Homo-oligomer: A and B are copies of this chain.
Amino acid sequence: MSEIDIEAADALPAAALHDEDDRLKSSFVDAVIECVEQGDAEGARALVRPLHPADIADLFELAPQDMRQPIAAAIAELLDGDVLSEMNEWVRDELIDALAPHEVAEIATQLDTDDAVAIIEEMEEEDQRAVLRAMEPDDRAAIEEALSFPEESAGRLMQRDLIAVPEHWTVGDVLDYLRRNEDLTTDFWEIFVVDHKHHPIGTCKLSWVMRTPRKVSISDVMAREQTLIPVDMDQEEVALRFQKYALISAAVVDPAGRLVGMITVDDIVHIIQEEAGEDILKLSGAGDGDINEPILE
């Protein structure tokens, strides 16, 4: 641990918006609702703008059902894909249903493929088609490919944006490639090394790359032992692999062994919770337990 003593600004004060369960305080939710009811959309946005996407999602879950649409209208510009992907699915579907296909398409375009798929796969088939028609061809192709895999399979979970490099590159080549190509993803924790058939032959933690001199070959840094996920593997099985081998990310391969995507542990954490939920459900014989779920009569 570095113990360097330096001159620096004090730490920012921690936000005092949360209750002891780390949910937004009801007084904050009430303040936003009051702005919306008084037609002060700018005031509502000023309150919501500093929030983490997970907290904006919370705001919708905590607000009364009849206020969710008005809040969404007031803070529309802040309601992006990150917020939707954090949202409880009942609340999210309610909001999505009220949006026009081109609005859903615009939000889905900002997301990683797996998060976009999670939203679109819940829609009626007709609405799905309308949303896909409103997307750019590249984005549409990625979503359509994901939807072609079975539900709850690795193919639905994975994202296509990843960093793959040839094994003859050096650490310096990798750093230059990452710095010079602005359109590469910024969300990755490991680099995959591939052969000329695009088969993954090794995985490299970023910390290893960063601790190694530029002239060293990437193939001397990578781990050859790696856990490859077949694209049709069930998501519960994927979660077990992540747990067993303490994975942060893993390469997904097609039946020919080619690298086609990447799954990261933050998607898996939700699966573990979901699967635990399903197990509990089976044992207890109770309902979903989601307070936002409508009670069917």
Q: Which residues of B contact A160 (CB under 8 A)?
A: 1
| Interface contact A6-B269, CB-CB below 8 Å | no
Residue of B nearest to A182 (CB): B211
* Residues of A in contact with B (beta carbons under 8 Å apart): 1-12, 14, 22, 52, 54, 86, 160-168, 175, 177-179, 184, 186-189, 194-201, 205-213, 224-225, 228, 237, 240-248, 257, 259, 265-266, 268-270, 272-273, 276, 279-280, 283-284
Q: Which residues of B contact A168 (CB under 8 A)?
A: 6-8
Q: Which residues of B contact A269 (CB under 8 A)?
A: 242-243, 246, 265, 268-269, 272
| Interface contact A165-B270, CB-CB below 8 Å | no
| Interface contact B184-A211, CB-CB below 8 Å | yes
| Interface contact A209-B210, CB-CB below 8 Å | yes
| Interface contact B270-A243, CB-CB below 8 Å | yes
Q: Copies of this chain, how many?
A: 2
Q: Which residues of B contact A165 (CB under 8 A)?
A: 2, 4
Q: How far is the CA of A8 from the CA of B217 in the complex (A)?
A: 14
Q: Which residues of B contact A177 (CB under 8 A)?
A: 2
Question: A1-B160, A163-B2, A195-B6 are known contacts. Are A11 and B266 too (CB-CB below 8 A)?
Answer: no
Q: Which residues of B contact A12 (CB under 8 A)?
A: 201, 224
Q: Which residues of B contact A14 (CB under 8 A)?
A: 228
Q: Which residues of B contact A243 (CB under 8 A)?
A: 269-270, 273
| Interface contact B213-A179, CB-CB below 8 Å | yes
Question: A266-B248, A279-B280 are known contacts. Are A166 and B8 too (CB-CB below 8 A)?
Answer: yes
| Interface contact B207-A189, CB-CB below 8 Å | yes
| Interface contact A166-B280, CB-CB below 8 Å | no
Show 21 residue pairs from A and B whose CB-CB distance is below 8 angstroms, ordered by the A residue: A1-B162, A2-B166, A4-B166, A6-B196, A7-B168, A8-B166, A8-B195, A52-B245, A178-B211, A184-B211, A186-B205, A188-B207, A189-B189, A189-B207, A243-B270, A243-B273, A265-B266, A265-B269, A268-B269, A276-B280, A283-B284
| Interface contact B167-A8, CB-CB below 8 Å | yes
Choose from B11, B199, B225 the contact partner of A195 (Cβ within 8 Å).
B11
Chain B nearest CB from A37 CB (Å) reads 28
Q: Which residues of B contact A246 (CB under 8 A)?
A: 54, 266, 269
